Amino acid sequence: MTALARRISVVLLAFLVANALATVLITVCMLMEWSETLRASGTHPVRLAVGVFGLIASAKMVVAALLVIALAEHFRIRAVVLYAVAGGVGFAALAADLGMPASASSATLMGRERDIMTGAGIAAGLVYWAVAGRQAGDWRDAGRAPHE
């Protein structure tokens, strides 16, 4: 397997792990926020997790996330702050796109949805960095001899 193919495999694995973590964090936090409402409506929490956050977040975020990953790989950017900020901004934008309000109002359940999404995005960025981002661009040097 070539260095590029190995790197693509690591990047995809890291993206999936980071996305799974973000989905779990969003689900747990939302369930804590919405526990009374869910209990009253009879909605099962797993349905909420898979139906709303897992599928929507994955589908809407994949292109933007892969663009950031490709740029970081190309320019060999390994700064943990980049991945944390990109994840936070990306998930905050996703929350806005999904119509989640920035603060509590009479039209919302709790008003902390964007905070939860942003925090999950930061966590996802950190996990991605830990798995793959800290070695961004290393695949280019795999075939070359070290300079002496």
What's the number of domains the chain is made of?
1
The per-residue pLDDT for range 13-54, each reduced to its tens digit, is: 999 888 888 878 887 887 777 777 767 777 666 666 655 655
Q: Is 77 inside a domain boundary? A: yes
Instruction: Please check the confidence at residue 139 and state whether its pLDDT lies above 60.
Output: yes
CA quadruple 91, 92, 93, 99: dihedral sign: positive
Q: Is 148 inside a domain boundary? A: no
The per-residue pLDDT for range 66-104, each reduced to its tens digit, is: 889 999 999 999 999 999 999 999 988 888 887 776 665
- The answer to whether the predicted template modeling score (pTM) of the entire model surpasses 0.85 is no
The per-residue pLDDT for range 112-138, each reduced to its tens digit, is: 788 888 999 999 999 999 999 999 988
CA quadruple 72, 74, 75, 78: dihedral sign: positive
Note down the domain range covering 53. Answer: 3-140
Q: Is 95 inside a domain boundary? A: yes
